[in-house]
């Protein structure tokens, strides 16, 4: 009887659940609803990694939970620290052997963690190492929180910024990603500000529109990487599904709904998208959208044979965009000495 009730719950691991859902579990275990608040606090505010340490919960409840609701928490399979800038890259392992990467960047104002949202990726972008072996599975909200909590715990820091720019396409794991954001900003948990969370997408248009309507106050970045459909289709399969025009319309909608400017990521690839004409066309495309363009000299992926323009080429592209009064940054590269680029550490551990 009890088992059936548990099985009908929407999400299996305890870190993925909202207090209301924990209350249902507590009720099924014959406990009072306030126990759910204690349980939520242990997990999301007090950094518990197991039920055993929740000493103010009755032993019978802890036993019930251990039997019915999995507690997933990643272990650190590898850790690399950059000697250049202190950036730490983690390879986390989950109970089923799934491996994901997260990167912790330490800034003057706090620590920022770049997390993975899926194990692998099925988007197929040609310049990206994360997609080479396809998608293994998506991560649950709790597993993504595990990256944040385990990284903070390992380094003894409070993580104040989280970016969903590691392996995976966040909007291909939409429900769990939204749940993750709601849990991370929950007033009884880590209480991050939505403004300190950023999602990056390769451009799943209907999901961008849906996200705009969630009113989460988070920042949104689009991996644009090309000024027109022809070039974009050469490097990003998703561009065959939605045109740049439809994609930019969705981004404009996001900017309107959120009142925030959006970011366009543009990985410069030598001879593919880095000419003056490309800059001019890009500028005309995004004109009128409140935005920032973030230029990223492409990280070479040996399997793909793509390379970046030199520093002068990057600077020229930036200047050309600035002529049109566009805000442009060049991504500062951190952790160059520790396989900084997405998906590269994980690839060394999985055959
Ligand atoms: N799927 C999401 C988030 C993960 S990728 C997205 O596409 O936005 C995070 C960022 O790194 C994206 O902008 C992606 O296009 C970029 N990226 C991937 N491989 C890269 C490489 N080799 N060099 C530079 N940027 C890369």
Stretch 249-258: mean pLDDT: 97
> Separation of 251 CA from ligand 1 center, angstroms?
17
For a ligand 1 pocket test, name from 342, 343, 344 the mutation site with the most ligand atoms within 8 angstroms of its C-beta.
342
Q: How far is CA 112 from CA 1, 89, 239, in A?
A: 45, 12, 30
Looking at the CA of residue 128, tell me the nearest atom of ligand 1.
19
Looking at the CA of residue 129, tell me the nearest atom of ligand 1.
19
Single pTM value for the model: 0.93
Residue nearest to atom 14 of ligand 1 (CA): 223
Is 101 tagged catalytic?
A: yes
Q: For residue 5, what pLDDT band results from cuts at 50, 70 and 90?
A: very low
Looking at the CA of residue 164, tell me the nearest atom of ligand 1.
3
Q: For residue 347, what pLDDT band results from cuts at 50, 70 and 90?
A: low
For a ligand 1 pocket test, name from 200, 207, 269, 298 the mutation site with the most ligand atoms within 8 angstroms of its C-beta.
200
Per-residue tokens: 230: 């022809």
Q: What is the DSSP string of 17-74?
A: --HHHHHHHHHHTT--THHHHHHHHHHHTS---SSTT-TTS-HHHHHHHHHHS-----
User: Per residue in 281-298, pLDDT tens?
Assistant: 999 999 999 999 999 999
Contacts of 256 (CB under 8 A, 6+ apart): 212
> Separation of 298 CA from ligand 1 center, angstroms?
9
Q: Is the pLDDT of residue 132 over 90?
A: no
User: Per residue in 44-102, pLDDT tens?
Assistant: 999 999 999 999 999 999 999 999 999 999 999 999 999 888 899 999 999 999 999 99
Residue 75 has phi, psi (to 5 degrees) of -105, 155
Looking at the CA of residue 172, tell me the nearest atom of ligand 1.
1
Residue 334 has phi, psi (to 5 degrees) of -110, 150
What pLDDT is stored for residue 350 in this prediction?
A: 56
What pLDDT is stored for residue 340 in this prediction?
A: 56
What pLDDT is stored for residue 334 in this prediction?
A: 61
User: Per residue in 138-181, pLDDT tens?
Assistant: 999 999 999 999 999 999 999 999 999 999 999 999 999 999 99
> Separation of 287 CA from ligand 1 center, angstroms?
23
> Separation of 223 CA from ligand 1 center, angstroms?
7
Per-residue tokens: 296: 């990223």
Catalytic residue, chosen from 26, 31, 101, 114, is 101
């Amino acid at each position: 009887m009890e088992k059936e009730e548990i099985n009908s719950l929407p999400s299996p691991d305890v870190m993925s659940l909202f207090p209301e859902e924990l209350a249902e579990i507590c009720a099924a275990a014959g406990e009072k609803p306030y126990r759910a608040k204690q349980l939520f606090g242990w997990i999301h505010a007090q950094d518990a990694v197991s039920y055993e340490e929740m000493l103010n919960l009755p032993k019978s409840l802890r036993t019930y939970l251990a039997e019915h609701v999995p507690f997933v928490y990643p272990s650190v399979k590898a850790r690399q620290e950059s000697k250049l800038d202190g950036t730490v890259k983690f390879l986390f392992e989950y109970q089923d052997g799934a491996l994901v990467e997260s990167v912790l960047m330490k800034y003057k104002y706090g620590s920022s963690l770049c997390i993975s949202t899926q194990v692998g990726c099925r988007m197929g972008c040609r310049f990206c190492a994360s997609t080479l072996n396809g998608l293994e599975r998506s991560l649950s909200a709790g597993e993504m929180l595990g990256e944040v909590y385990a990284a903070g715990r390992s380094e003894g820091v409070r993580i104040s910024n989280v970016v969903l720019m590691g392996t995976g396409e966040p909007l291909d794991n939409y429900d769990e990603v939204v749940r993750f954001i709601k849990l991370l900003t929950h007033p009884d948990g880590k209480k991050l500000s939505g403004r300190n969370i950023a999602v990056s997408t390769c451009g799943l248009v209907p999901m961008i529109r849906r996200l705009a309507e969630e009113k989460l106050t988070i920042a949104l970045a689009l991996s644009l990487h090309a000024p027109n459909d022809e070039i974009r289709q050469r490097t990003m399969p998703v561009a065959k599904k939605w045109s740049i025009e439809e994609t930019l319309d969705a981004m404009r909608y996001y900017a309107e709904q959120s009142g925030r400017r959006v970011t366009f990521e543009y990985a410069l690839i030598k001879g593919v998208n880095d000419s003056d004409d490309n800059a001019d066309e890009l500028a005309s495309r995004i004109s009128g959208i409140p935005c920032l363009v973030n230029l990223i000299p492409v990280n070479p992926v040996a399997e793909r044979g793509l390379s970046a323009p030199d520093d002068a080429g990057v600077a020229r592209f930036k200047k050309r965009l600035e002529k049109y009064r566009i805000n442009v940054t060049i991504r500062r590269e951190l952790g160059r000495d520790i396989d900084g680029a997405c998906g590269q550490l994980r690839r060394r551990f999985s055959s």
